[in-house]
Amino acid sequence: MKIVDGVQLHLIKSNKYKTNHITFRFSGEYSKKTISRRVLIAQILETANADYPTAQLFREKLSNLYGASLSTSVSTKGLVHMIDIDITFLRDKYTLSGEKILDEIILFLKSMLFAPLLSVAQYQPKFFDVEKTNLINYLDADKEDSFYYSSLALKKYFYYNESLKVSKYSKSDLVQLENAFTVYQEFQKILREDRIDIFVLGEFDEYRTLQLFHQFPFEPRKKDLHFFYQQEVSNIVNQIIEKKDINQSIIQLAYHHPIIYGSKEHFSLIVLNGILGSFSHSKLFTNVREKEGLAYSIGSRFDIYTGLLDIYAGIDIKNRSKMVQLISKEINDLRMGRFSADILKKTKQMLITNALLAEDQPKVLIDLAYNESYLPHSNTLSTWIDKIDNICKIDVMRVANLLKLQVVYSLESEDE
């Protein structure tokens, strides 16, 4: 349902929850130049504004709305960087006197967006500096997580695109460059130019909801977004060893895949990843961690939007060469079909069970609605389940043969 060009309202009726849920999603470019600004904006939005100029007053207002819960987050799909505002609140029928909580919530969201806490065309400096410091401290603390650090390092060596080398939360040296003026100007640009999707999920009056959102002063916009990124495969495997003051060494392997979102190969890749390293019965876990005892932790994951599959493990560094050999063997076994019908069946059952459990989460339903609106070949949950269930052994083998090793990254203790 169009509010103006580029701003869509999605109404998802459901009476299974005692609460309603609203998500505002702003979709813009995933650019190294603007990631820091967008993350700071997400923090600022959930902290204070001109109508509620302190964090205490802001939270008191939410508390007075029958304990409404509000948060913001950032995420990515390919070369798209998204800011979400999520608010969960009691349905009107469960309030003590039948108050119109939905009306108040929407007005509160309007004040978040159109009444920022300003001082002469910029965010109020003292307030802004606190949020900037908080983000820098958060990013610096994350560097101490060896798995997080090595995951970012792997992306730096895998991707050719400079923006994809940066975390969706940015990095502290980029945040340092921003100020109250640059971030506020970016916020105004987001309001003018980002694709905006508003999701309302629960039990509500559709006409009243539409009427309230039409009061938001959104301007028409046309935003071209690139959800998919593919790079050329390299015939050379890049091998990197980095030393750091850590207790446990980490090894990460990056594989290139050329698989298209929504294709049959996409579903085959989901099943392959489950067999390889997503579950406790997966081959990496049972063969490398349990049988060989070479990893403290191990797993695999993939990004369908950017062509990356990575395998990660916490190891003793003396086992590095053997670990790479064993991981390569597990990939090769998948290529050759050396896996049982039982592990294929169990993996598909686990994937379907997890999908059915996730169906009860409002944010999962919202992501499905978003994907159906903008991504080609998106599927309903029932269709997704059918496609997973129909994957056979030869499908997994075909996808395994498309994987090409690109990077072997090792993060080691300085003492070794």
| The predicted structure's pLDDT at residue 416 | 62
Has domain 238-413 been given CATH number 3.30.830.10? yes
Six token digits for residue 78: 């390919």
Q: What would the pLDDT profile of 205-231 be if each residue is shown by its tens digit?
A: 999 999 999 999 999 999 999 999 999
Q: What is the mean pLDDT of residues 262-286?
A: 97
Report d(CA 71, CA 345) in Å as an integer.
Answer: 38
Q: What would the pLDDT profile of 359-399 be if each residue is shown by its tens digit?
A: 889 999 999 999 999 998 888 889 999 999 999 999 999 99
| The predicted structure's pLDDT at residue 347 | 98
- Confidence class for position 256, pLDDT limits 50, 70, 90: very high
| The predicted structure's pLDDT at residue 378 | 87
What single-letter DSSP state applies at residue 219? P
| The predicted structure's pLDDT at residue 248 | 84
Check whether 245 has a pLDDT greater than 90: no
**Among the listed ranges 10-14, 173-177, 201-205, 243-247, which one has the minimum average pLDDT value?**
243-247
Cα 270 to chain centroid, rounded: 17
Phi-psi bin for 170: left (phi > 0), alpha (psi -120 to 50), beta? left
Check whether 413 has a pLDDT greater than 80: yes
Instruction: Show me where the domains of the chain are located.
Output: 2-215, 238-413
- Confidence class for position 112, pLDDT limits 50, 70, 90: very high
Q: What would the pLDDT profile of 291-348 be if each residue is shown by its tens digit?
A: 998 889 999 999 999 999 999 999 998 999 999 999 999 999 999 999 999 999 999 9
Has domain 2-215 been given CATH number 3.30.1380.10? no
- Confidence class for position 99, pLDDT limits 50, 70, 90: confident
Q: What is the mean pLDDT of the chain?
A: 95
Rounded to 5 degrees, what are φ and ψ at 16?
A: -80, -15
DSSP H helices in 65-100: none
Q: What is the pTM of this model?
A: 0.94
Check whether 353 has a pLDDT greater than 80: yes
| The predicted structure's pLDDT at residue 55 | 95
CA 207 to each of CA 60, 136, 159: distance values in angstroms, whole numbers, following the listed order: 29, 43, 46
DSSP H helices in 18-124: 35-45, 55-64, 101-114
- Confidence class for position 404, pLDDT limits 50, 70, 90: very high
Shared fold status for 2-215 and 238-413: yes
Check whether 287 has a pLDDT greater than 90: yes
- Confidence class for position 405, pLDDT limits 50, 70, 90: very high
| The predicted structure's pLDDT at residue 143 | 84
Spatial CA neighbour of 101 closest among 113, 82, 111, 88: 88
| The predicted structure's pLDDT at residue 144 | 86
Q: What would the pLDDT profile of 60-94 be if each residue is shown by its tens digit?
A: 999 999 999 999 999 999 999 999 999 999 998 88
Six token digits for residue 351: 């994937």
Provide the edge-to-edge strand list for the sheet that holds 238-244: 238-244, 404-413, 249-256, 308-315, 297-303
